[in-house]
Amino acid sequence: MSNTGAILKDNLWTSNPIFMQILGICSALAVTNLLVNTMIMTLGVVFVTAMSSFTVSLIKQLIPRKVRMIVQTLIIAFYVIIVDVLLRAYLPDISRALGPYVGLIITNCIIMGRAEAFAQSNPPLASAWDGATSGFGYMAVLLTIAFVRELFGFGTLFGYQVLPDAFEPWIIMVTPPSAFFLLGIIIWIGKTIMNREGAPA
């Protein structure tokens, strides 16, 4: 596939699902208080997006157009259940910390969006790649937010203390508003750079 690089750049940057399309932030912000949680959650999203795009593309000829939304939802739900069961079995603590947000991957607009916009009209492997890279775009933004929140909110990174004891944690970084502020700032920076490049916003 010659366009794999183009898809990668597109999904990671020029049409990054979060800061260009403002999709999928529902479940995005709640898990960004700790890097570990964010990592696991976004890996789940990458897996589900890639696999559901792959499956949708594979059986697109078989699905009647009228019911394709509900079929896509069921395919997505199927993969989310796999993620949920695996988390419960192998990482019960993280599963508990993520709470309902694993289930909410189902309603993550990115996954449905990729299935609808790309997988419907492309071969399975390209669709899986497109889904995975969209997931990576999502992961990049969330990890950035989580990095700032965990560093200033707890003074740690991935649970290891990096800031000295004298550092006073910023309570605001632990609370929900900080996630909104950080996302707003990331969108701001991203768009400003993009405007400068002259790319269509």
Enumerate binding residues for another protein (CB under 8 A).
19, 22-30, 70, 73-74, 77-78, 80-81, 84-85, 99-100, 103-104, 106-109, 112, 175-181, 183-185, 187-195
Which of 108, 118, 112, 96 has its CA nearest to residue 139?
A: 108
Quick one: 84 or 163, whose CB is closer to another protein? 84
Minimum distance of another protein from residue 45's CB (angstroms): 13
Q: How far is the CB of 48 from another protein (least distance, A)?
A: 11
Q: Decide if 38 contacts 142 (C-beta within 8 A).
A: yes
What does the alpha-carbon distance between residue 200 and residue 117 come to, in Å, rounded to a whole number? 19
Supply the minimum distance, in Å, between the C-beta of residue 47 and another protein. 15
CA 44/CA 88 separation, integer angstroms: 13
Could you tell me the smallest distance in angstroms from the CB atom of residue 176 to another protein?
5
Q: Are 125 and 1 in contact (CB under 8 A)?
A: yes
Return the number of the residue (161 or 192) whose C-beta is nearest another protein.
Answer: 192
Compare residues 17 and 131 and give the one whose CB is closer to another protein. Answer: 17
| CA–CA separation, 169 and 146 (whole Å) | 15
